């Protein structure tokens, strides 16, 4: 099973892998988290769960990004 990857943008420079994991684990099994400077990717098994995330929240608000 390859999983599905979602882009997470406009992250705080203080956001850590454990912060992203804490948020996304409520939506299913996380296969991989790859953070860069201000953005990242989260790979999960279920496309349906990733779609649910995109319909319910704006991830950038979780990490208190200045807009």
CATH number, domain with residue 10 = 3.30.70.330
Domain span at residue 2 reads 1-66
Rounded CA-CA distance 12/27 in Å is 21
At 65, is the pLDDT very low, low, confident or very high (cuts 50, 70, 90)?
A: very low
DSSP letter at 6?
A: E
- Compute the average pLDDT of residues 2-18: 84
pTM over 0.75: no
> In the chain, which ranges are E strands?
4-8, 30-35, 40-44
pLDDT tens digits, residue range 36-53? 988 998 887 676 776 777
Count of domains forming the chain: 1
Scan for tokens 């943008």, then name that residue: 9
- For 16, list phi and psi in degrees, rounded to 5: -115, 165
63 contacts 8 by C-beta, under 8 angstroms:
no
């Amino acid at each position: 099973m390859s999983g599905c990857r979602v882009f997470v943008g406009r992250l705080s420079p203080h956001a850590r892998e454990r912060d992203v994991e804490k948020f996304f684990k409520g939506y299913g099994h996380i296969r991989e988290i790859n953070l860069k400077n201000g953005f990242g990717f989260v790979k999960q098994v279920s496309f349906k769960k990733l779609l649910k995330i995109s319909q319910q929240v704006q991830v950038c608000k979780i990490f208190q990004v200045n807009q």
